[in-house]
Amino acid sequence: MLDIAGQELTAEDREVIAHPLVGGVLLFTRNYRDPEQLKRLCDDILAIKKPRPLLAVDHEGGRVQRFRVGFSRIPAMRTLGKLYEESPTKAHEEARRCGELIGQELGAFGFDLPFAPVLDRDCEVSQIIGDRAFASETGVLIELARSFWQGLNAAGLSATGKHFPGHGAVTADSHVELPVDRRQLPALEADMQPFKALMDEGLESIMMAHVRYTAVDATPASLSEKWIRGIVRRQWKYNGAIFCDDLSMGGAAVAGTLEERAKLALEAGCDMIPVCNDRNGALRVLEALRDHKPNRLSSARLKRLYRRPVATP
């Protein structure tokens, strides 16, 4: 999954997206001017090849909402957790409304995924997560994330739970460095409960965290065969799609060059690997993977993420 630099496609963008190993495009705030421009851009991307690329954007609400002018302002998910303390019923309704609203607005432009909901539990130490988390209490988090997910599905979009197995108990920001979680397995399992609950219910995809959990593996979870093939696939029997977090982030840099990280992520079991904000690096990855044969099972999992038609009432 790659990105583009501007608000319209260049000749190089078209050539790169057409590459047989490119299966998705991730858009950012820099790619948006107004709804009319965004619709042209999305249409152009989706028309490049068949099967068309998956189209995604980080659009959680609060601090992480890439498109604002012309879009509904979505609150930080923490506000739903606060509302739950006053009225669980109203909090569920609002969570579902937020998910459905995001799904309706993004779906109108052709998006398949908003890379949400955040399933990280807020342990009150991570500023990068903070109010992006629904709650600190696991049960509340699961309930509200489920309602949000149901809203997305009602609008025809799939969901991505992130950042597995949990980013909320580390202070470092994985965008710039590798966080290390030194807690023992029982503490990690508490953070994993929201992921496990929704994955058991059929959550369409998850995104792995660039975090090292020393109780399980010295390799960051995003690149770890123990985490992905061992725990998620074999122990939990999860059959949804697995995204690596962006390989250009600082948290992944400990694993070597972009090319080396890409190979590690695929070997560990990731179905799709985002490489953004580094076009030259992305081109090197495509060259390094020129002999890579796309996994049919991965392709089938990713195919389930395409937006679905919504029945008219």
Residues forming the active site = 175, 245
User: Is the preceding omega at residue 53 within 30 degrees of 0, hence cis?
Assistant: no
**Residue recorded with tokens 């042209």:** 40
Alpha carbon of residue 250 to chain centroid: 17
HSE, side-chain direction, 13 A CA sphere, residue 93 = 5
Q: Provide the 10 A C-beta neighbour count for residue 73.
A: 9
Q: What whole-number distance in Å separates Cα of residue 128 and Cα of residue 4? A: 24
Strands of the sheet containing 160-164, edge to edge, are 160-164, 205-208, 241-243
Q: State how far the alpha carbon of 5 is from the alpha carbons of 41, 149, 280, in Å.
A: 12, 30, 12
Whether the Cβ atoms of residue 31 and residue 4 lie closer than 8 Å to each other: yes
Alpha carbon of residue 296 to chain centroid: 21
Q: Provide the 10 A C-beta neighbour count for residue 183.
A: 17
Q: Which one, of 134, 34, 129, lies nearest residue 75 by Cα?
A: 134
